[in-house]
A and B are shown apart, each in its own frame.
Chain A
Amino acid sequence: MIAVLLAQTIAITGGTVYPVSGPKIANATVLIRDGTVAAVGTSVTVPADAKRIDAAGKWVTPGLIDGGGQMGLVEIGAVRGTREGALASDSVAAAFNVAEGLNPASTLVPITRIEGVTTALATPEEHLISGQAVLIDLDGGTVEEMLVKSPVGVVARLNEDVKEEVGGSRAGLAQRLRRVFNDALEYGRRKTDYSHGQMQRLSAAAADLDALLPLLRGEVPLIAVANRKSDIETALRIAREYKVKLILAGAAEGWQMAGKITAAGVPVLVEPLDNIPTYDALGIRYENAALLARAGVKVALMETDTHNARNLRQQAGNAVSYGMSWDQALRAVTLSPAEMFGVADRYGSLEPGKIANVVVWSGDPFEFTTGVEHVFIRGKEMPLTSRQTELFERYKTLPPKY
């Protein structure tokens, strides 16, 4: 069945296409074949057997990518049995890859994708080293079918939430992280000694230290959650010391040191609508995304309320409202996260050869007036239904239709 669907050729014609990789193209065609984008432009020949989708007056963009949250890892926030995002036992859970916790049948998946978010980072939570984040497409009958990339990065937290785990000081977080990295390097050099019991006791389990080796070789990025300016500094310093590829997440006070972040070439995941001050980030403010982008930082956006990941576009609209350019904001929910997560060869823009995650909108995707008209994931058109549309259909007139 999948093969049949993938073999389909679809032509989305007449819309205003925002490829993201280049300027918008009026009255253009996006041709999808075998699950990938075959052609984009104003002079695309539509094969006779192609299914045509008239997008005249519509906006066509890549599917949106949410750079955060626990998509597939949570069903009901308050019901522990439905949460898979955190490993309670361990403050260094580097080997904990969330993939096998994913639930392809989650009701959140269709609820989210019918509003234009087609790809999301599923991130582990809690602890100094939370585990490994994976990127998923919001379609697929199995975990393997959903996975886009695993792992995308190792998540660490350098903030107030976790410092109690290391004795109660931020400095302790940094110290512990260095010790774990040092032990991982030592373990990597002396695996044989380790297996012969000829090493001193290490600060984390062998499996976790092993999982850090790709990170320490620069192959997998460290996704460091840090909000206070000093915590961001710590993350930048440790990344520099260990030559680790770094992605900052949250970075609430990042706008106060945008120059340093730019100089370090570190990209940042931002949640634009976060602005409630806490002692973890008194300088948190709406303009963060815009100020970072203006300084030259690569910014991707996230909506971390997983149940409302669909509000990623509201986040983007507000980022624009507080100073980001519209083009930057669209890039921050498409190509920029794809680049950060190392999948820009397949994701994030409408270019020949890319995976056909495509959304047809009735207008500006960030505006509330706008609705989603078509969603394609890997070239397959998604039905615009979810548990919520079914509830609505049942109750739209009372008494309900049972």
Chain B
Amino acid sequence: MRPLVYLTLVLSTGCASAGARQPSTPAPVQAPASQAAAESMSVDRAQYPSTYRRHPNPPVLIRNATIMTATGQEIRNGSVLLKDGRIVAVGEKVDAPADAGVVDGTGKYVTPGLIDDHSHLGVYAAPGTEAESDGNEATTPVTAEVWAEHSFWPQDPQIPLAIAGGITTIQALPGSANLIGGRSAILKLVPARTVQEMKFPGARYGLKMACGENPKRVYGRRGGPSTRMGNMAGYRSAFTQAETYRRRWDIWRKDHKGDPPERNLRLETLAEVLRGNMYVQNHCYRADEMAQMVDLAHEFGFKIRSFHHAVESYKIADLLAKEGTSVSVWADWWGFKEEAMDGIQQNAALNQQAGGRPLIHSDSPSGIQRLNQEAAKAMYAGLRAGIPITRDQALRWITVNPAWTLGLDSIVGTLEPGKMADVVVWSGDPFSVYSKAVQVYNDGWLVYDRNDAAHQPRSDFELGQVPAPGSDR
């Protein structure tokens, strides 16, 4: 069993702000900030707040279920109590307040809400037309200045499908056309009119970077980069400029002497990576390239939080474990391009064995609906190959490990008192192909109930043109 090392790690790096640990507190209306204040806080600009509000709900007691906590426990005939958006109690015997709604979990399983740290929901929305294709600002190889939230369409009909699969939090990322693709959006997967209403309060932004074939292919005949060495030069040159920019601003912030330096949105984002305030989420397939990126991160003094796709991470699992970089992988995707040729089904398991922090991501509107199945495949592939993966570890691949990658593991990702009430009730063992999410609670709100049409949210897009799903969707 892996100890809970990351809770302390996250808190000591100051990632989880007080605001983040009190997600239910309504955010105050922001007054226009003073020029100096605005310029001094360049990540969470007050003008782009989260307007997420917890949906008020009566307490809920789920009882007589198998509780999989993602902290090493699997409690038979256990209960979970949710109140005011929090998990209040988890155990064999839980006292519930008189006003609690009771869910009979006989034969059912309960897990934390699933987290997908690599999604393009909302930025590559269904129905998949050119008009909805908003994921890649493929106009120049470094676009650190763009934010995925500014593309995100909350009426993407893929969102309700993902919710029905038990997903409660996603990282919506820009695509991988660019060396540096822009900021990610960390979102609560709830029905909403605006992306602001979905933004996970207090979550820090991620920066999408991409290695390998994609940037080369997109820019090879458009001024470059056209080679992997060109890719490396591109990142280094961007971070070199960002370093100068950061220094200038940090000096000005100290004494406020003279005019502030000119703002540059691209470098502003990169400077936040250099200050350690933003996580690098790095699309990278090949082992040798990941090793190059580790060197690059060392050169500029930042950490790569996770290598995404990382189909060859098993080849350097020792190096990645030592580096403390997680790997966000598929269970079995391979071969769709040359850098994906060496994908194997034991990738996650081998990283776990090496002491790393693997997780299963989807990168797919289809795969996101069955992250539990993908984790199951990866677990059993490991077990069949003689790698002793536990059910708890496999559950962590789709809950608290992605929460860590997003810096939210002290808030979501496990069933523990005090955590946000993101909870899934499954019809059976979530690692069985025959099991489905029957209830999904997001921050205590029943956002999906397979047996109650009143709790099956549909996007605006679906109304009147997508046939009603009935109760069995």
B335 cross-chain contacts in A, Cβ below 8 A? 75-77, 107-108, 307
Which of A28-36, A48-56, A148-156, A275-283 interfaces with chain B? A275-283
Q: Cβ of B472 and Cβ of A76 under 8 Å apart?
A: no
Q: Give Cα A396–Cα B346 distance, bound, in whole angstroms.
A: 9
CB distance from A220 to the nearest CB of B (A): 31
Q: Cβ of A395 and Cβ of B315 under 8 Å apart?
A: yes
Q: Give Cα A363–Cα B14 distance, bound, in whole angstroms.
A: 48
Q: Give Cα A323–Cα B434 distance, bound, in whole angstroms.
A: 10
A392 cross-chain contacts in B, Cβ below 8 A? 344, 346, 350, 385
Q: Give Cα A107–Cα B343 distance, bound, in whole angstroms.
A: 12
Q: Contacts A277-B157, A277-B466 hold; do A308 and B350 have CB atoms under 8 A apart? A: no
* Option from A75, A310, A368 in Cβ contact (under 8 Å) with B431: A368
B316 cross-chain contacts in A, Cβ below 8 A? 398
* Option from A273, A278, A388 in Cβ contact (under 8 Å) with B127: A278
The interface size of chain B toward A, counting residues with CB under 8 Å, comes to: 53
* Option from B126, B334, B350, B387 in Cβ contact (under 8 Å) with A307: B334
Q: Cβ of B385 and Cβ of A396 under 8 Å apart?
A: yes
**Chain A CB within 8 A of B264 CB:** no
A282 cross-chain contacts in B, Cβ below 8 A? 127, 465-467
B317 cross-chain contacts in A, Cβ below 8 A? 398
Q: Give Cα A330–Cα B336 distance, bound, in whole angstroms.
A: 28
Q: Give Cα A256–Cα B342 distance, bound, in whole angstroms.
A: 41
Most buried by B among A107, A286, A366, A398: A398
- Among B151-185, those with CB < 8 Å from A are 157-158, 161
* Option from B126, B365, B432, B473 in Cβ contact (under 8 Å) with A286: B473
When C-beta atoms are compared, the residue in chain A nearest to B379 turns out to be A368
Q: Cβ of B213 and Cβ of A78 under 8 Å apart?
A: yes
Most buried by B among A322, A323, A395: A395
When C-beta atoms are compared, the residue in chain B nearest to A362 turns out to be B384
Q: Cβ of A311 and Cβ of B129 under 8 Å apart?
A: no
A283 cross-chain contacts in B, Cβ below 8 A? 466-467
B431 cross-chain contacts in A, Cβ below 8 A? 368-369
- Among B264-278, those with CB < 8 Å from A are none
Q: Cβ of B366 and Cβ of A79 under 8 Å apart?
A: no
**Chain A CB within 8 A of B373 CB:** yes
- Among A282-335, those with CB < 8 Å from B are 282-283, 285-287, 307-308, 310-311, 314, 317-318, 320-323
Q: Contacts A76-B341, A273-B366 hold; do A307 and B434 have CB atoms under 8 A apart? A: no
Q: Cβ of B336 and Cβ of A276 under 8 Å apart?
A: no
Q: Give Cα A318–Cα B369 distance, bound, in whole angstroms.
A: 12
Q: Give Cα A330–Cα B354 distance, bound, in whole angstroms.
A: 38
Q: Cβ of B467 and Cβ of A368 under 8 Å apart?
A: no
**Chain B CB within 8 A of A167 CB:** no
B interface majority secondary structure = loop
B219 cross-chain contacts in A, Cβ below 8 A? none
Q: Cβ of A308 and Cβ of B333 under 8 Å apart?
A: yes
Q: Cβ of A398 and Cβ of B473 under 8 Å apart?
A: no
**Chain B CB within 8 A of A23 CB:** no
A interface majority secondary structure = loop
Q: Cβ of A276 and Cβ of B366 under 8 Å apart?
A: yes
Q: Give Cα A350–Cα B332 distance, bound, in whole angstroms.
A: 30
- Kindly count the residue-residue contacts between A and B in the assembled complex, taking CB atoms under 8 Å apart: 118
Most buried by A among B127, B335, B377, B435: B335
A310 cross-chain contacts in B, Cβ below 8 A? 332
Contact mask for chain A residues 65-88; partner B; CB cutoff 8 A; 1 contact, 0 none: 000000000011111000000000
Q: Cβ of B433 and Cβ of A79 under 8 Å apart?
A: no
Q: Give Cα A274–Cα B387 distance, bound, in whole angstroms.
A: 32
Q: Cβ of B466 and Cβ of A76 under 8 Å apart?
A: no
- Among B360-377, those with CB < 8 Å from A are 365-366, 369-370, 373, 376-377
Q: Contacts A78-B338, A286-B473, A396-B350 hold; do A275 and B366 have CB atoms under 8 A apart? A: yes
Q: Give Cα A368–Cα B428 distance, bound, in whole angstroms.
A: 14
A391 cross-chain contacts in B, Cβ below 8 A? 342, 344
Q: Give Cα A308–Cα B333 distance, bound, in whole angstroms.
A: 7
CB distance from B462 to the nearest CB of A (A): 8
Q: Cβ of B332 and Cβ of A311 under 8 Å apart?
A: yes
Q: Cβ of B380 and Cβ of A371 under 8 Å apart?
A: yes
**Chain B CB within 8 A of A219 CB:** no
When C-beta atoms are compared, the residue in chain B nearest to A274 turns out to be B366
Q: Cβ of A276 and Cβ of B126 under 8 Å apart?
A: yes
B466 cross-chain contacts in A, Cβ below 8 A? 277, 282-283
Q: Cβ of A320 and Cβ of B434 under 8 Å apart?
A: yes
B376 cross-chain contacts in A, Cβ below 8 A? 368
When C-beta atoms are compared, the residue in chain B nearest to A313 turns out to be B433
A79 cross-chain contacts in B, Cβ below 8 A? 337-338
**Chain A CB within 8 A of B143 CB:** no
When C-beta atoms are compared, the residue in chain A nearest to B372 turns out to be A368
* Option from A317, A371, A395, A400 in Cβ contact (under 8 Å) with B434: A317
Q: Give Cα A108–Cα B431 distance, bound, in whole angstroms.
A: 26
* Option from B127, B432, B434 in Cβ contact (under 8 Å) with A277: B127
A388 cross-chain contacts in B, Cβ below 8 A? 334, 343-345
**Chain A CB within 8 A of B318 CB:** yes
**Chain B CB within 8 A of A367 CB:** yes
- Among B15-64, those with CB < 8 Å from A are none
When C-beta atoms are compared, the residue in chain B nearest to A366 turns out to be B433
**Chain A CB within 8 A of B469 CB:** yes
Contact mask for chain A residues 212-241; partner B; CB cutoff 8 A; 1 contact, 0 none: 000000000000000000000000000000
13 examples of A-B residue contacts, CB within 8 angstroms: A76-B335, A77-B337, A78-B338, A79-B338, A274-B366, A286-B473, A307-B333, A307-B336, A308-B332, A321-B434, A321-B436, A369-B432, A398-B354
Q: List 5 A-B pairs, minimum CB-CB distance, nearest first.
A: A317-B433, A78-B337, A77-B336, A307-B335, A368-B376
